[in-house]
Structure 1
Amino acid sequence: MTHATSFPAKTIAITGGARGIGYQTAKELTERGHRVAIGDIDEARIKKAADELGISVVGHLDVTHPDSFRAFLDMVEEQLGPLDVLVNNAGIMPTGHAHEEDDAVTRRQVEINLLGVIFGTKLALQRMLPRRAGHIINTASLAGELPVPGLATYCATKFAVIGFTEAARQEYRKSGIQLSTVRPTFTNTELVAGTAGAKGLRNAEPEEIARATAELIEHPRPFVRVTRLAGGMVAAMKFVPGRVASALGSVLGTDSVFLDDVDMVARQTYLDRIRNN
């Protein structure tokens, strides 16, 4: 269990806080003594999460609609004070062959994973810029640096999140606002249900991503990769010839883990939920 740190308490809003990485991040930050609010489109689950975590500021949030996002942040500031940190965490990850992906599923990924991040970043900037202080953390992925077969649209959104955040970071570098990305490897949440992961590489646990996010808040930098091994491999792969990278993908199984090797029965509950919300 973590404990309160010596860092000043901050007002922190987390999107997609009902489960997975968002839930664990809220838990980590609450235990460190920060003032935390969580939002999610799943109203029943977000209320239960708030009860479990002892969080009093909780609300319905559809990140794809700016008005919903604005209302959520208004509520956070009314109840907890000026927003210090926004963690844009909400995201979905369908798998499968690109040519078979339903258009509605494609659109949903772009709306949640990318537009939600852009909307949230803009709204947070509007609040933070007059104070010349604040931190926006956008949850990306190592799949936003290294393409993965079976995740074409997901990779596209995460590549875009990294590009957007890096450009905005440069744009506002003299403003007093920090912008960062967290780049997890595949993490043991519902997003990877029914998949086995890469051979020889363990998936991250959501608690690891939560700790990395908390440390990024307390010691700001442009980005953090999690896990260290997976992050190091992704960084190194940028200097490897394409044919070698493809061969390594075959050895690790990443060329099929989100395609032919997926257990669709085990994955169905997750797929039903993201299609219906």
Structure 2
Amino acid sequence: MKLKGKVVFVTGASAGLGKKICYEAAKQGAIVVACARRIDELTKVKQTCAALSKQEAFCYQLDVSNPTQVDQVLEAISLEVGPIDVLVNNAGFGIFEDFVAFDFEKTRQMFEVNVLGLMYITQKIAAQMVQAQKGSIINIASIAGKIATPKTAVYSATKFAVLGFSNALRLELKPYGVSVTTVNPGPMETNFFTTADPSGNYVNGVKPFLSSPEVLAKKIVRTMHKPKREINQPKIMNAAAKAYTLFPSVGDYLASGILNKK
């Protein structure tokens, strides 16, 4: 029970990786605060977390792209739960389409959720952590923030932004005892692709690379009491990302060929 008594705040917690992170944190005794837009699913997550942790869990309906709602939820958490020890910025979505035909309203929405919403919540909670001289921030980015492939121009741009933001923030907050970890998942067995690729072509193409959200959630929760700089999953895509950086021409060839399954 290494997280016993620690308040763990997770966005995008109603399904997929976010839900699994909540469960793994609860197993280690954390006081889980689950947030997402779907309150009906959140209530189920809250109940399961309470059963796993043997203590109270909390849930709040939250659209991270709405600053007013973020302020209201954070105020409620402050009054009803207490200071946040661990922030997990998991909320986000993607759409895989050719950029020249991309609806720019979707571009705006994706940046508001994946980047601006993440940054706004982080600023509010990081200020509290700096004052307390402790805390952990975990930002869920993507391997797409390291390897850009066709039809991910907008999504990759948001995740490149999360990576750059996290890397700078890590250096800023280190002197105050606050850690920042970036998580870069490849394709996972979640409902992410219901929105990203309704045709199912991408999922079918990357089945050999699909990873388990349960396995990644366990790795993420371990960093809550033993911080590390990055988590990359699966290993083969992490190796590809390194090769992409070292050999950009080869990287472009792979990204437009072998790694392009959309």
The total of aligned residue pairs comes to 251
Is structure 2 residue 88 aligned with structure 1 residue 87?
yes
Unpaired stretches in structure 1, ≥5 consecutive residues: 259-277
TM-superposed CA distance for 1:205, in Å, is 1.5
In the superposition, the TM-score normalised over structure 2's length comes to 0.89
Where 1:173 maps in the other structure, the secondary structure is: helix
- Could you tell me how far apart the structure 1 residues matched to 2:49 and 2:5 are? 17
- Could you tell me how far apart the structure 1 residues matched to 2:42 and 2:16 are? 12
- Could you tell me how far apart the structure 1 residues matched to 2:30 and 2:73 are? 18
- Could you tell me how far apart the structure 2 residues matched to 1:231 and 1:221 are? 16
Deviations 1:46-99 (A, max 9, x none): 223323443631011111122212222233333332110110100001111111
Is structure 2 residue 224 aligned with structure 1 residue 217?
yes
TM-superposed CA distance for 1:10, in Å, is 1.4
Q: Is the 8 A contact 2:184 2:230 kept in 1?
A: yes
Residue 74 (structure 1) aligns with: 75
Residue 205 (structure 1) aligns with: 212
Where 1:172 maps in the other structure, the secondary structure is: helix
Where 1:62 maps in the other structure, the secondary structure is: coil
Is structure 2 residue 246 aligned with structure 1 residue 245?
no
- Could you tell me how far apart the structure 2 residues matched to 1:200 and 1:62 are? 31
Where 1:50 maps in the other structure, the secondary structure is: helix
Matches within 5 A, 1:8-23: 8-23=4-19
Residue 34 (structure 1) aligns with: 30
Residue 173 (structure 1) aligns with: 174
Report the identity percentage.
28
Alignment RMSD, CA only?
Answer: 1.9
Where 1:196 maps in the other structure, the secondary structure is: helix
Q: Is the 8 A contact 1:41 1:61 kept in 2?
A: yes
TM-superposed CA distance for 1:41, in Å, is 1.4
Is structure 2 residue 136 aligned with structure 1 residue 129?
no
When residues 248 and 85 of structure 1 are mapped into structure 2, their CA distance, relative to the original with a 3 A threshold, is: same
Matches within 5 A, 1:119-198: 119-193=120-194, 194=200, 195-196=202-203
- Could you tell me how far apart the structure 2 residues matched to 1:223 and 1:29 are? 18
Q: Is the 8 A contact 2:187 2:206 kept in 1?
A: no
Residue 44 (structure 2) aligns with: 48
Q: Is the 8 A contact 2:32 2:49 kept in 1?
A: no
Residue 197 (structure 2) aligns with: none
Amino acid of the residue matched to residue 249 of structure 1? A
Q: Is the 8 A contact 1:186 1:197 kept in 2?
A: no
Q: Is the 8 A contact 2:3 2:25 kept in 1?
A: no
Unpaired stretches in structure 2, ≥5 consecutive residues: 51-55, 195-199
TM-superposed CA distance for 1:237, in Å, is 2.1
Amino acid of the residue matched to residue 253 of structure 2? A
- Could you tell me how far apart the structure 1 residues matched to 2:189 and 2:120 are? 27
In the superposition, the TM-score normalised over structure 1's length comes to 0.84
